[in-house]
Structure 1
Amino acid sequence: MNKQLSKKQRVHYFMINLISFASIFLVLGLIVFQLVQTSIYQSVDNDLQRLANDQKFLQHQLLQTERLQGKSPQLSKFDTPPPNNFQQQVILWSKDGEIVNESELGSRFYDFQNLKLSTDQLHKVTSVQTKDSNDRSLQFHSITIPIENQDQIAYIQLLVNTDPIKGTVERFKQILIICMVVFGLLSIGLSYFLSKWFMKPILISWKKQQEFVENASHELRTPLTIIQAKLEKLFTNPNHTILEESETIALSLDEVQRLSQLTSDLLLLARSDSNALTLEKTPVKINCFLNNVLLPYQELALAEDKAFMIDLGEDQQVVFDKKRIHQLLIILLDNALKYTKSGEKIVVFSSVKNNEWLIKISDTGIGILDEKKTAVFERFYRGESSRNRKTGGYGIGLAIAKWIVEEHQGKIELTDTTPKGTTVILHFPVK
């Protein structure tokens, strides 16, 4: 992936993350602010509704006004008036819209002298705005109740000053905005980090894909070049018989077989990457299955003067994909034979214990260095620097082996054989 495309994709991820975080913080902030503001004002409105329905409180306000006007007996020491809230005010209105309890309001009367009686929304909480004697704006929540059977008093208006609440809401709003700005800045840094983090596996995958294509092209080019050369050689001797050119034809056929095997392996790896392959698992008697796979290799080892020992435990039935496990064992046995010399030994061990099928393939060959034990499972990796295809193969066999093991939820590991050589250990869960 070129730098310009990588940068463009990273900016794209950055903008997506930033917009997502900003949207979340904005929506969350608006919801929190709206809930806090509503809950605070709701408590005031509930108090007003409660007082408007409290007949004892309303009657006390009427009697108190009548006493001040000398129309009712004075309050005795045994009467307990309802508690008075400094933020709450009660205004008694006449039918003409005049304030009746001016003397009771005292100095607060000047705060309400510009207030007008409104009877449009009786028994409902409304917002009221007025100005005091210093021309400062005052905010109230108010409810107006009509009064019957009273000569001078026609309406009672209950008011609660909401300026302190408004100040609290404004301070909360400022704090919320500051928090949103701080978290917005943090989201920018987090978006930058996430965009870089999201691009990392993409770049790794792209790099692996490039390496895969380059290595595959190289491996395909070699047998094609050989086949082309051999075929061109045939044209230089048009009068030769097939018998005379049998060696050239045989080498070409050998390269064709190698090319066919390579393309099959490449197709398998490509389909495994796209999850297009599915396993066909069936119950299998493992000893019978292993004997069918191992006996041809035992004969081949004897023909090459190599010891081939088979140690199979108790025969049990295990569920797996016969075709893939057969392919796995062929890959491992081919490597074991390839890297052992005449007079050396190969041992295959199998047993089922503790709900696990264990297979060990040991050889006394050249072995694998510790620092290369992980690298050998990478595609197109070969330990031999000469890259001799007759000994090193194409370097994708163990990558396929690892995929087969992992698809069976198993585990593959490499250890050293004493005194020399390599042991491949396969662990398969038995379900």
Structure 2
Amino acid sequence: MAQNRIAGFRELSNMLRSDQPDPEQDETTTYLFWDGEGKLIGQLPEQSFSTDTALLFKAAPMGETIMTVTIGKHGFRVFEFPNVRQNRGSIVTIGIVRSLDDANSTLRTLLWDICSVIIAGVIISILAGRFLAGRALIPIRNSWDKQQRFVADASHELRTPNAVIHAQTEMLLRQPDHTIEQESAHIALILKESKRMNKLLDDLLTLARSDSNQLLIHRAAVPLGSLIREIVEQFRLLTSIRDVDLSAELQEPLTLWGDEGRIRQLLFILLDNALKYTASSGRIVITARSEGQLVYISVTDNGKGIADEDLPYLFERFYRGDKARSRAEGGTGLGLSIAQWIMNAHDGSIRIDSKLGEGTKVELLFPRRAR
């Protein structure tokens, strides 16, 4: 009788597993066989569960649903249905129990992986966000620092002439009975500092308006040759006083599309700088010629030159390599900043080459027509 039951168990097991591709490897499924009195009469694989444990699976409603049973730390899916071939022995119902340990382990591993990825993603996002925010703030910090430095330098530059004017005025008030001729030296100094202050204020206003795009460029055809000759003649008196030779090498005819007033201002700045730093018996040459679709202008002198460490900072506002001499010459440190803005406004470029003790060459490139 026992052998018949075992044979019946195996036949039913093979029948139930017949739809599986490789039943020999399915170690998570157990078949329980019950008699009409609800007693366990067999299981495949054999001795998978104790009788007491198997009875816990008998509580599943037969043929209604699949139930999950938890025993200790282990979970099982249980399904029970009647045996339609009861002539094979006393097997009345068959229970299928499938372990969920592998699935739960996989889910736990997947959950840990997901949590790890989320945590790593949050950490990477925070670090990347801080890095990108820091990179994005660099130009803002630089702009803020430049603005703060500009305000401080402007205040310092304005304070000097204002202090001189204030002191000289007090000295005039101490001698109310003196004539203008007697106090002419003090009055001349007041006039000189007033002019310096006015020039500084004009330069500051120009740069402030350029930063806010309030200055407009009025483009028109500029006869560059005649403009340069006119400027050279205006500088003749100054160069003759300082015994400096000023000459122009011009290609004729030469026309430039731009703002004549701003180009005149640009050339005045460059010639004024060249004259300030060129000693007696020196030479200044201004050259202008056409180079394809560009107009080339250069101002060359054989003056004192500029130190290599100062070249990268020449276009910064209020920067002066030789501060003592620049202040004595009446410089404000804003000229080259204005020159660079004029070139940018004309879609051009400016370049300075200089060697200490040999001289300086400033090169300008303008497009012949507006872009």
Flag whether TM exceeds 0.5 (same fold). Answer: yes
Name the CA shift for 1:115/1:397 in 2 (closer, same or farther; >3 Å): farther
Structure 1 position 243 matched with structure 2 position 181: yes
Deviations 1:274-294 (A, max 9, x none): 333332222222212222323
The 2-side partners of 1:315 and 1:303 are apart by 31
Q: Which is further off, 413-422 or 214-223?
A: 413-422
Cα distance, 1:358 vs structure 2? 0.9
Aligned-partner Cα distance in 2 for 1:199–1:404: 28
Matches within 5 A, 1:343-354: 343-354=281-292
Distance 1:226 1:115 in 2: 109
Alignment of 1:316-335 (within 5 A): 316-335=254-273
Q: Of residues 406, 419, 423 in structure 1, which corresponds to 2:344?
A: 406
Answer yes or no: is the 8 Å Cα contact 1:360–1:425 preserved in 2. yes
Q: SS of the residue aligned with 1:424?
A: strand
Inter-partner Cα distance in structure 1 for 2:248 and 2:269: 17
CA drift at 1:185: 1.3
Residue of structure 2 in register with 1:342 after alignment: 280
Higher strand share: 2
CA contact (8 A) 2:320 2:326 kept: no
Matched residues in 1 for 2:118 and 2:230: separation?
Answer: 70
TM-superposed deviation, 1:176 = 3.6
- Going from structure 1 to structure 2, the CA distance change for 1:165 and 1:362 (only over 3 Å counts) comes to same
Check if 1:217 corresponds to 2:159. Answer: no
* Separation in 2, partners of 1:220, 1:236: 25
The Cα of 1:215 is off from its aligned counterpart by 1.6
Sort the Cα spacing of 1:380 and 1:176 in 2 relative to 1 into closer, same or farther, 3 A: same
Q: Judging changes above 3 Å, is the alpha-carbon distance between structure 1 residues 115 and 359 closer, same or farther for their aligned structure 2 residues? A: farther
- 1:198 correspondence with 2:131: no
Distance 1:232 1:129, change over 3 A: farther
What's the TM-score, normalizing by structure 2? Answer: 0.68
User: Contact 1:115/1:130 (CA < 8 Å) preserved in 2?
Assistant: no
Q: Which residue of 1 aligns with 2:334?
A: 396
- Choose from 243, 246, 250 the match for 1:308: 246
Distance in 1 of aligned mates of 2:109 and 2:210: 60
| Distance (Å, rounded) in 2 between the aligned partners of 1:182 and 1:270 | 48
Mapped contact 1:310–1:349 kept (Cα < 8 A): yes
Please point out which of 355, 370, 386 is paired with 2:324: 386
The alpha carbon displacement at 1:424 in A equals 0.7
- TM-superposed CA distance for 1:402, in Å, is 1.7
1:188 equivalent in alignment to 2:155: no
**Which residue is equivalent to 2:199?**
261
Give distance in 1, aligned partners of 2:214 and 2:226. 30
Identity of aligned residues (%): 37
Contact 2:304-2:357 within 8 A present in 1 as well = no
- Secondary structure in 1 matching 2:306: coil
Change (3 A) 1:268 1:219: same
3-state DSSP of counterpart to 1:309:
strand
CA positional deviation for 1:270:
2.4
Paired with 1:355 and 1:129, the residues of 2 have a C-alpha distance of 86
Separation (CA, whole Å) in 2 of partners of 1:169 and 1:320: 73
Mark the CA change 1:288 to 1:133 in structure 2 (over 3 Å): closer, same or farther. Answer: closer
Q: How many residues align?
A: 298
Distance 1:115 1:288, change over 3 A: farther
If the length of structure 1 is used for normalisation, what is the TM-score? 0.59
CA RMSD in angstroms comes to: 3.6
Q: Give 1:203's aligned amino acid.
A: R
- 1:194: Cα distance to partner? 2.6
1:425 corresponds to: 363
- Supply the distance in 1 between the matched residues of 2:307 and 2:117 (Cα, whole angstroms): 56
Report Cα offsets for 1:278-327 as digits up to 9, x if no partner: 32222222212222323211343234322111011132332212222211
- 8 Å CA contact retained: 2:244, 2:284: yes
Do the aligned residues in 1 keep the contact of 2:219 with 2:257 (CA within 8 Å)? Answer: yes
**Structure 1 outlier segments of 4+, above 6 Å:** 132-137, 163-171
Q: How many Å separate the matches in 1 of 2:63 and 2:367? A: 86
Following superposition of structure 1 onto structure 2, how do residues 227-242 of structure 1 map, counting pairs within 5 Å? 227-242=165-180
Matches within 5 A, 1:101-140: 114=61, 130=67
The structural deviation recorded for 1:331 is 0.8
**Please, which moves more after superposition, 421-430 or 128-137?**
128-137
Q: Is the 8 A contact 2:306 2:356 kept in 1?
A: no
Distance in 2, matches of 1:377 and 1:401, equals 8
Where does residue 288 of structure 1 map in the other structure? 226
Q: 1:392 to 1:85 in 2, by over 3 A?
A: farther
**Do 2:239 and 2:245's aligned partners in 1 also have CA atoms closer than 8 Å?**
yes
Superposition deviation, residue 201 in structure 1: 2.8
Larger Rg: 2
Judged with a 3 Å threshold, the aligned counterparts in structure 2 of structure 1 residues 350 and 138 are, in CA distance, closer, same or farther, namely: farther
Q: Which amino acid aligns with 1:184?
A: V
Q: Deviations along 1:111-164, whole A, 9 cap, x unmatched?
A: 9x84888xxxxxxxxxx865589996769xxxxxxxxxxxxxxxxxxxxxxx99
> Shift in Å at residue 231 of structure 1?
1.3
Distance across 1 between alignment mates of 2:174 and 2:180: 14
Q: Please point out which of 301, 305, 318 is paired with 1:367.
A: 305
| Separation in 2, partners of 1:408, 1:167 | 71
Give the gaps of 5 or more residues in structure 2.
1-18, 22-43, 45-56, 79-99
Letter in 1 for 2:116: I
